Amino acid sequence: MVIPMEVYEGKAKKVIPLDDDKVILEFKDDATAFDGKKKAQFKGKGWLNAQISALLFKVLEESGVKTHFIGVAGDNRLIVERLRMYPLEVVVRNVVAGSLKKRLPLEEGTELPEPIVELYYKDDGLGDPMINRYHAKVLGIGEDEVREMERIALKVNEVLRKYFAERGIILVDFKLEFGRNKRGEIVLGDEISPDTCRFWDAETRESLDKDVFRFDKGDLISAYERLYERLTGETPNRR
């Protein structure tokens, strides 16, 4: 089962139609956490997420991972291929953090012997519950489709984990979303940003992601800017 990518305004992005094959993702300055219970706005957040996502999509494309990324359409906008999105979030975990520390008898920060891949069903009303392949099959998502998404997710992890390690950053965990393009290919969609990943400084273990906002660890924009500087070697202009 796949669902069409409809034009809508979400918590952190707007999807704007461009033509039959392409849409624009507009990244907002809004931040939410805990299923929308915590909200705030941070000037410049949309620009940072758009630019970081564009950079990471390019890194993945160069490594042979197919994504929906086409190009940058402005400070906080990306042009992407229109996809029919799966109602799934595919989460890859390398280090114990977040909800995983509530489900395993391991301390936060423990490096896992191998990556863990989890599936979550995208439904706000149900709280985006964790599911397995059997649940996915009941929902009309075939096992071969799930396995392909898991395969791509692990490839993404392999590429980005090395990429971030070379820049003094630990890729703790991250969320991916997938869809089918008009050619029927399953490709990576949505975004890859500090909103959807956990990044820790390799020396200090400081968060460089949305956990700064979730748990009041400091200034969110400063953390995102530090991440941007590590990845690009450039100082971002405040937008």
pLDDT digits (tens, 9 = 90+) for 90-99: 999 999 999 9
Contact 239, 44 (CB under 8 A): yes
Q: Outline where DSSP puts E strands in 13-142.
A: 13-17, 22-27, 30-33, 38-41, 69-74, 77-81, 84-85, 88-95, 111-121, 130-131
- Residue 7: the pLDDT is 62
201's enclosing H/E stretch is: strand 197-201
Mean local confidence (pLDDT), 9-14: 91
Residues of the chain with CATH 3.30.470.20: 84-219
Task: Give percent above pLDDT 90 in the chain.
Answer: 90
For residues 133-143, average pLDDT = 97
Q: How confident is the model at residue 1 (pLDDT cuts 50, 70, 90)?
A: very low
pLDDT for res 231: 97
Tokens of 215: 């748990």
Contact between residue 68 and residue 188 where contact means Cβ atoms under 8 Å apart: yes
**Whole-model pTM?**
0.94
> What is the per-residue pLDDT for 238?
55
Taking only the tens place, the pLDDT of each residue in 175-210 is 999 999 999 999 999 999 999 999 999 999 999 999
Region(s) of the chain under CATH 3.30.200.20: 3-81
Question: How far is residue 187's CA from residue 111's CA, in Å, rounded to a whole number?
Answer: 28
Report pLDDT digits (tens) over 62-92.
Answer: 999 999 999 999 899 999 999 999 999 999 9
From 31, 17, 8, 78, select the one nearest 50 (Cα to Cα). Answer: 78
Fold category of 3-81 in CATH: Phosphorylase Kinase; domain 1 (3.30.200)
For domain 84-219, the CATH architecture is 2-Layer Sandwich (3.30)
pLDDT at 6: 53
Task: Transcribe 137-192 into DSSP letters.
Answer: HHTT--HHHHHHHHHHHHHHHHHHHHHHHTTTEEEEEEEEEEEE-TTS-EEEES--
Helix-, strand-, coil-residue percentages of the chain, each rounded to 5? 30, 35, 35
| Beta strand pairing call for 130-131 and 77-81 | unpaired
Task: Decide if pLDDT at 239 tops 70.
Answer: no
How much is the pLDDT for 214?
A: 97
Run of H or E residues at 198: strand 197-201
Residue 90, pLDDT score: 98
